[in-house]
Amino acid sequence: ALMLSRYESEFLELGRIGVGEFGAVYRCVKRLDGCMYAIKRLRRPLAGSANEQLALKEVYAHAVLGHHPHVVRYYSAWAEDDHMIIQNEYCDGGSLHDVLTEKEEQGEFFQEPELRDLLLQVSMGLKYIHALGLVHLDIKPSNIFISHRPSSSAGGAGDSEEEDDGHTSSGVVYKVGDLGHVTSISSPQVEEGDSRFLACEVLREDYTHLPKADIFALSLTVLLAAGAPPLPQNGDEWHRLRQAHLPSLPHELTSALRNLLQTMMDPDPAVRPSASALCRHPVLRRERAG
Ligand SMILES: Cn1cc(CCO)c2c3c(c(-c4ccccc4Cl)cc21)C(=O)NC3=O
């Protein structure tokens, strides 16, 4: 078209970093500020269709969620050329799913300190989302993105919040992304997420403890990082996992962490700790050095 689209005029597309039925995600540089962004372009859903509702819910959620070190940041969204476009923070470390796939190929998995760091950081993101009256409903490794904190040698003044919360020796920052299933706790319109991470009560359409469904999905996410075998999508194994039977792990966890993960996947959502309780949990607290 003679008139360049906003996407083409404002951004230089460097490469495609994801593709699915939803559309595609590109790594782009914004010409004006020279910064990198992750931009999802999807064919504009039919006006009034369920897909349009989903696409709009994602943008509404990002708009409400503002800024948090452990939630992928939203910059803008617009519609053009029969496409909907959302411009988000680019996380340079890939998704947790990418990292787990790479580690698995080398027969490696997360050790206990890394598991606690992952659990604490995502709990902080969930605490923020839940405090704003929202639930994610699709927590899983491919929706957790990784940013590598600028190395201290870069001298960049780190974001104070991140510094406060980033006592980990590793410069790895986990961020909750893909808000396509986000809904309100009080008046939920539940679009079920990935069945492998779905809590039993949500399948039964019991929405009285929705934040605890995110906690359930987070426990399975951490178990995968600990080396658990791929999760079942349905069937007897699916139900066994929802009777709080921890999957077999290649490497024994301390009883403290194992018990915490066990309560997070309890069949009774009321038993599972809240994200806020997890952030205060002694197993996850980081003792200040010295
Ligand atoms: C497939 N894929 C790969 C990446 C890069 C990870 O290093 C990625 C990102 C996002 C998203 C994304 C997810 C859902 C909605 C919108 C976006 Cl831009 C998807 C991404 C996003 O919001 N930020 C990303 O970095």
Task: Read off the pLDDT of residues 28-58 as tens digits, 9 standing for 90 and up.
Answer: 999 999 999 999 999 988 888 888 888 898 9
Q: Which atom of ligand 1 is nearest to the CA of 146?
A: 7
What does the block give as tokens for 264? Answer: 């997070």
The strand pairing partners of 287, in sequence order, are none
3-class SS of residue 59: helix
Q: Which residues line ligand 1 (CB under 6 A)?
A: 17-18, 25, 38, 40, 72, 86, 88-91, 93-95, 145, 177-178
Distance CA 270, CA 75 (A): 35
Task: Read off the pLDDT of residues 261-272 as tens digits, 9 standing for 90 and up.
Answer: 999 999 999 999
Give the residue ranges of the chain where pLDDT is below 50.
Answer: 155-164, 166-167, 290
The residue contributing the CA closest to ligand 1 atom 12 is 178
The Å distance, Cα 94 to ligand 1 centre, comes to 8
Question: Global pTM?
Answer: 0.93
Residue 140: name the closest of 105, 200, 97, 92 by CA. Answer: 97
pLDDT score for 169: 56
Q: Answer for the pair 139, 217: CB distance below 8 angstroms, yes or no.
A: yes
pLDDT score for 288: 66
